[in-house]
Every structure is written in C-alpha cells, then in structure tokens.
C-alpha cells in the first residue's frame, strides 16, 4: 500500500555524494569493482538515487542495482541475480538470516509471513509486529540465496510508505464473539490480531483467524470494532512456497 504521507520515510534530504556512500556501505566497499550513479529518479512513489554496480566476483553482464531514497538515505530497492548451484540452506535458517540482516540495519520487530522459492532463491515477506499485532502494510521483501545465505535483494517500499506506531482502537467485540461470525465449517488452527490494508488506502484492525475447510486453508479477518468480516484469503501451500490470494 502506497501512502502520500510516506510515514516511514524519516530523515533529512541527502545529496548524491551521501547516497553513494550509503550504497557502498550497504553493498560492502570491498565487494565493489565499479559503482555508477544513474541519476535521481523523481517520478516514482519515492524519489531515489539509482545506482548500478559491478562486483569484483560477479558477472559484468549482470550488475547489482540499488536505489537510495533522497529523503533519509533509506535503501528502497536492491537486487542482484546469480546462479545458485545447490540448496543447502533450510527455510528456517533463511528466515533467521533475513531477521538478523534486518536487525543489523536497524529494522526490528519484523516477522515472516509468506514466501516463494524459485531457482535456489527464496523471497520472504516480513511484516512489522507491534506488540503481537501483525501490521501487514509495513512490508519488506528479502531475496536470499539458498546456497550460502547471501541476501541478494531487498524491497522496502511498503515499510517506507506506511511504517509508524499505530494507536490501536479498543476492541468492541471479544475474540469469542468474532468467532461466532465465522463459517461454522471452518476448523480454526490459529488466531491473533492484525492490521490489514484496504483497496481505499486505509487500514483495518482485525482478528486474524487461520483455519481449514476440508483440504483448503483460509485466512479470515473480522473487524475488532464492528464484528464485520473484512476479508477472506485462500492460502496456497505449494512445494515452492506459501502465498495467499
């Protein structure tokens, strides 16, 4: 969800020289053979300094790309592709690598939600966790290589657009009352609280129920103030990942 306010885009405006320093620090200056500034791109949701980078041990025809926000010098996007020879990193270890990577960059209290694995690379979606409430609009995607755990990509636009501490409304219905509004055939496997985005660029505070009807897994969101069913998602569990639709 994009936001005109860009709540997570904190800090002062930086120049191209400072953006170059940030890019070098993030990639690791010792890894860089050549770093080129492609210019300031202002026509996107977040104005960024855009760079392409040739790595010392990389393929010159396959550069790493990275973009740094003009406001605050945040990493908005980084992406690098290379061949993955073997998968030796488990999903659990990849998730831990991702969390440690985010923590090392000062991005804390994130939790894994869904993931997709392709060609030896796993893309994990992390959402912000505010005191046990999963805040789905504050989303960061990490791309992790399963041969050595290298972080090959990051995308933070959801987080930079939306991240802030929410003043959560008091629930007007109990979780038991919310359950009464669920499909009677839904076998509940987990329950919790979540903030979900809407198509109208707003947020709703909900009870989140995960459950199963026959062989299909669902996520159902019940408004904590009205008891209204706000959304139902089907969980797609495949050999390559867990997604929703």
Q: pLDDT tens across 44-97, in order?
A: 889 999 999 999 886 667 899 999 999 999 999 999 998 898 899 999 999 999
Range of the domain at 133: 16-162
Say if residue 92 is in the same domain as residue 204. no
Say if residue 201 is in the same domain as residue 144. no
| Beta-bridge mates of residue 92 | none
pLDDT digits (tens, 9 = 90+) for 100-112: 999 998 899 999 9
Please determine, for residue 241, whether its predicted confidence score (pLDDT) is greater than 70. no
Closest CA to 74 of 133, 6, 28, 131: 6
pLDDT digits (tens, 9 = 90+) for 10-47: 899 999 999 999 999 999 999 999 999 999 999 888 99
Say if residue 227 is in the same domain as residue 191. yes
Say if residue 71 is in the same domain as residue 179. no
In angstroms, the Cα distances linking 74 to 24, 96, 151, 155 are: 13, 22, 17, 11
Question: What are the residues whose beta carbons fall under 8 Å from the beta carbon of 213, sequence distance 6 or more?
Answer: 183, 185, 186, 187
Alpha-carbon distance of 82 to 61, in angstroms, equals: 11
Say if residue 184 is in the same domain as residue 228. yes
pTM: 0.88
pLDDT digits (tens, 9 = 90+) for 132-172: 999 999 999 999 999 999 999 999 999 999 999 999 989 99
141 located within any domain: yes
* Top-confidence residue, 58 or 9: 9
Instruction: Write down the pLDDT at residue 64.
Output: 95
Say if residue 189 is in the same domain as residue 145. no
In angstroms, the Cα distances linking 114 to 14, 97, 144, 245 are: 34, 15, 14, 12
Structurally, how many domains does the chain consist of? 2
Question: What are the residues whose beta carbons fall under 8 Å from the beta carbon of 143, sequence distance 6 or more?
Answer: 79, 121, 122, 123, 151, 152, 153, 154
Say if residue 140 is in the same domain as residue 80. yes
Helix (H/G/I), strand (E/B), else coil: 25: helix
Residue reference for tokens 């030796």: 88
């Amino acid at each position: 969800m994009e936001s005109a306010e860009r709540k997570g885009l904190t800090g002062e405006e930086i120049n191209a020289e400072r953006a170059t320093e940030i890019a070098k620090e993030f990639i690791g200056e010792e890894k860089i053979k050549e770093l080129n500034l492609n210019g300031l791109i202002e026509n996107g949701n977040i104005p960024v300094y855009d760079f392409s980078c040739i790595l010392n041990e990389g393929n010159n025809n396959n550069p790493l790309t990275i973009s740094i926000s003009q406001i605050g010098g945040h990493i908005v996007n980084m992406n690098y592709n290379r061949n993955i020879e073997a998968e030796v990193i488990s999903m659990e270890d990849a998730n831990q690598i991702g969390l440690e990577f985010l923590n090392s960059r000062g991005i804390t209290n994130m939790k894994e939600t869904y993931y997709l694995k392709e060609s030896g690379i796993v893309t994990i979606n992390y959402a912000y966790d505010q005191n046990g409430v999963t805040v789905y609009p504050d989303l960061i995607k990490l791309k992790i290589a399963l041969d050595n755990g290298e972080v090959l990509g990051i995308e933070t636009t959801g987080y930079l657009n939306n991240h802030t501490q929410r003043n959560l409304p008091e629930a007007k219905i109990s979780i038991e009352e919310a359950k009464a509004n669920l499909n009677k055939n839904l076998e509940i496997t987990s329950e919790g609280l979540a903030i979900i985005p809407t198509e109208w660029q707003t947020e709703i505070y909900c009870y989140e129920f995960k459950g199963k009807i026959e062989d299909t897994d669902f996520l159902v969101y019940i408004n904590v103030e009205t008891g209204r069913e706000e959304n139902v998602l089907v969980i797609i569990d495949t050999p390559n990942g867990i997604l929703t639709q």
